Amino acid sequence: MAATTVLAGATQASANPNDCPGGYVCVWGDSNYEGRFLFVPGTSRSNVGDHMNDLTTALWNRTGSRVCFYDHSNYGGSVLAIVSPGESRGNIGPTANDRISSWRAC
């Protein structure tokens, strides 16, 4: 699965939330869509990888499906958040903050 990530040297780049394309799930490392980010086409990511594992604070579901975010890779552990189509969260709150490792349509 293709994904777009940006890391600029030792500093972490930010992406404008409006850069999150339709049909993608986009996650950011800091609140208010700041810090490191990952944009993934479709509704499934079995492992976010080292760049974003357990580092997500903000997200935007730009797909047409409800998406469940999980505590562990391969959709394991607890469901930390359920996000409706088109919904964004500038801060996912203490239950899910810095814990997301995978997601899929649910």
pLDDT of residue 65: 98
Q: When comparing pLDDT for 94 and 4, which is higher?
A: 94
CATH placement of domain 4-105: 2.60.20.10
> Phi/psi class of residue 95: alpha, beta or left (left: φ > 0; alpha: ψ in -120 to 50)?
alpha
Q: State the average pLDDT over residues 13-34.
A: 89
Q: How do the domains of the chain map onto residue ranges?
A: 4-105
**pLDDT at residue 13 is higher than 90:** no
Q: Determine the Cα–Cα distance for residues 88 and 74; give it in Å rounded to an integer.
A: 23
pLDDT of residue 18: 83
- Asked if residue 43 lies in contact with residue 103, where contact means CB atoms within 8 angstroms, the answer is yes
**pLDDT confidence band for 38 (50 / 70 / 90):** very high
**pLDDT at residue 10 is higher than 60:** no
**pLDDT at residue 88 is higher than 90:** yes
**pLDDT at residue 80 is higher than 90:** yes
Q: Determine the Cα–Cα distance for residues 18 and 15; give it in Å rounded to an integer.
A: 8
